[in-house]
A and B are shown apart, each in its own frame.
Chain A
């Protein structure tokens, strides 16, 4: 599956740098795919806590831990959720542990190693501003 980088504005900057951002349907919420940054520096998939609320994910008994985001501690709670990414004629769905974080300052989700990079062979061709995803069979 081949996808293009996404342009989003840089606050306070006139320049625009396209980034490896893709859209992921979480728990079947197809009307609102969540924009997510491909982030090989993150160990896991992380979303804002509001995504769990929107998708009806129950976090009441979820494993919980504190993580640092941008120098601030946030509370992260984990649930196994269904994810789907689509592009062109292709669509891949899989289940992965996702950490839902509060508070959450990024404007999008983060797709990290566990749950994303260990499910796909990922090519990030920054010069051409494209991404290629090939699912990996477990």
Chain B
């Protein structure tokens, strides 16, 4: 996740923009991530398709630019990027800075920041997280997605153990 303010000039779809990482985060705050087909960027702990982000921030039609252009633009703003299905791959941005960051990251470790949230898992990856089971299943239905598993990431010992009722 980006922390300090980063400003970059970018030409996208033949138009010039001045983009700030904070503006991107603000613009995406109330936006529901669409399903990840291949590439994604991480904005505020959530994964978005790069084209969804650039379209939301610039207002451009998604047909006006490519996924790779969107991804590169967002990486220059400091956002991490990855590829669906490459669950063991560290973010491209981090990998460039720290070789050790390319070590495989376990799903359980990636779930830690999502404590208390409902998650949908598909092919060993988190495809969506939501504040309630209803919101999560609603998202799956709206986007025609099938999860392998849904559960709430434990945020305390009771949630983690279940403490069997007799």
Contacts and interface: CB of A to CB of B under 8 A. Distances in A.
A42 to B, nearest CB: 4
A42 B166 contact: yes
B33 interface: no
A11 B146 contact: no
A70 B158 contact: yes
B111 interface: yes
Interface stretch (B21-29, B96-104, B131-139): B131-139
A79 B162 CA distance: 21
Interface in A81-118: 101, 105-108, 110, 112
A67 interface: yes
B106 A16 contact: yes
B111 A32 contact: no
B164 A50 contact: no
Contacts of A9: 108-109, 111-112, 115, 153-154
B120 A32 contact: yes
Given A31-B147, A33-B147, A35-B151, A7 B106 contact: yes
B140 A106 contact: no
B163 A32 contact: no
Contact of B165 (A16, A33, A68): A68
B123 interface: no
| 6 closest A-B pairs by CB | A107-B152, A35-B151, A41-B164, A7-B108, A70-B163, A42-B164
13 contacts: A6-B149, A11-B159, A16-B108, A29-B137, A33-B147, A42-B166, A43-B166, A67-B165, A67-B166, A74-B165, A105-B156, A106-B159, A106-B161
Interface of A: 6-12, 16, 21, 23, 29-35, 37, 39, 41-43, 46, 48, 50-51, 53-54, 67-70, 74, 76, 101, 105-108, 110, 112
